[in-house]
C-alpha cells in the first residue's frame, strides 16, 4: 500500500485519529475497490460518503439517465445533469468531492453474461438496485465468486439493510436464506408508483456506506445474519436474526 501524502494526512485527519482506522486503515481504504450497483437513491449517499472516506476505486453500474424526478432523492446528481448518463454525472460529482478516488463507469445493466467478471474485479459489492432480478443475480454471483454483498432496499417510509457473506460458510446466510424466491411480478410497487420520502433513501444509503467501511476495515460487528429495519414514521430501528437455510438453493448444504 502507498504511504499517505501530506495532503492526504490533512484530508483524512479525523479518520487517522481513530484507533479503529489510523494510518494503516486509511491506506487500506485507498487501496480498496468497491462496486456500487445503481447510482440512484441508495447509490447517491453511498458514492458521496465512500468517496469522502477515501475508498480508492469506486465502480458504478447504471444504464439509466438522470431525470428531473430523480433529484428529490438522488443527491449525487445536480440539476444540470438532467439527461446525462447517471454514471457520468456521478463521476463528475465524485471528482469534485475527492480527487484521490478513481471512478470506473459501467453504463450497462447487469446480466448473466457480464456480472461474474464485474463482481470478481472488485473487493466488495454494494447493492443499491431497485429490482429483484438484480438482487438475486448479485446474491448468487457474490456467493460463487466469494465477495461480500451489502444490500439495502427502500419503501415509501421504510428501509432494510443487511450484509451477506455466505461464501465464508455457516452460520452466514445469503439473501435467498431470507427471501427464497422473488415476489410475483408487479406485486411490489416501484417508487415511481408508490412514492418515497427522499430523506429515507439518504438514511439507508448512509447506513449502507457505514457497513461498507466497517467491512473494508474489519471493524465493529457485521450485519451478516441480521436484517436491520428502519421505520421513518416511527423513528425506530429494529433487528431480525437471519438463520442460514440448509435448504437454500444458493448456499444450502442439503
Which residues are part of the catalytic machinery?
191
For residue 37, give the H/E element and its range. strand 33-37
Contact 100, 30 (CB under 8 A): yes
Question: Strand 33-37 and strand 124-127: pairing?
Answer: parallel
Dihedral of the alpha carbons of 82, 70, 203, 162, in degrees to the nearest 10: -100
Contact 91, 34 (CB under 8 A): no
- Quote the distance between the C-alpha of residue 251 and its chain's center: 21
CA distance 4 to 27: 7
CA distance 51 to 31: 13
Determine phi and psi for 121, rounding to 5 degrees.
-95, 5
Determine phi and psi for 107, rounding to 5 degrees.
-85, 75
CA distance 244 to 223: 13
Amino acid at each position: 500500500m502507498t504511504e499517505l501524502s501530506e495532503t492526504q494526512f490533512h484530508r483524512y485527519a479525523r479518520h487517522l485519529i481513530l484507533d479503529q482506522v489510523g494510518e494503516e486503515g486509511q491506506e487500506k481504504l485507498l487501496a480498496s475497490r468497491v462496486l456500487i450497483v445503481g447510482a440512484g437513491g441508495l447509490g447517491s449517499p453511498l458514492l458521496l460518503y465512500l468517496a469522502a472516506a477515501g475508498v480508492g476505486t469506486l465502480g458504478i453500474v447504471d444504464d439509466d439517465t438522470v431525470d428531473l424526478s430523480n433529484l428529490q432523492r438522488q443527491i449525487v446528481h445536480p440539476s444540470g445533469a438532467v439527461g446525462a448518463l447517471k454514471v457520468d454525472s456521478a463521476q463528475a460529482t465524485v471528482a469534485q468531492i475527492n480527487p484521490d478516488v478513481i471512478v470506473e463507469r459501467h453504463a450497462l445493466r447487469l446480466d448473466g453474461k457480464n456480472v461474474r467478471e464485474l463482481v470478481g474485479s472488485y473487493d466488495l459489492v454494494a447493492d443499491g438496485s431497485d429490482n429483484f432480478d438484480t438482487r438475486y443475480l448479485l446474491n448468487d454471483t457474490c456467493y460463487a465468486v466469494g465477495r461480500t454483498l451489502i444490500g439495502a432496499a427502500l419503501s415509501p417510509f421504510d428501509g432494510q439493510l443487511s450484509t451477506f457473506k455466505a461464501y465464508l460458510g455457516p452460520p452466514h446466510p445469503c439473501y435467498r436464506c431470507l427471501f427464497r424466491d422473488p415476489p410475483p411480478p408487479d406485486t411490489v410497487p416501484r417508487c415511481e408508483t408508490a412514492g418515497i420520502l427522499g430523506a429515507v433513501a439518504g438514511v439507508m444509503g448512509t447506513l449502507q456506506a457505514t457497513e461498507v467501511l466497517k467491512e473494508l476495515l474489519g471493524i465493529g460487528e457485521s450485519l451478516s445474519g441480521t436484517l436491520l429495519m428502519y421505520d421513518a414514521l416511527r423513528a425506530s430501528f429494529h433487528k431480525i436474526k437471519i438463520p442460514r437455510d440448509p435448504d437454500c438453493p444458493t448456499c444450502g448444504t442439503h
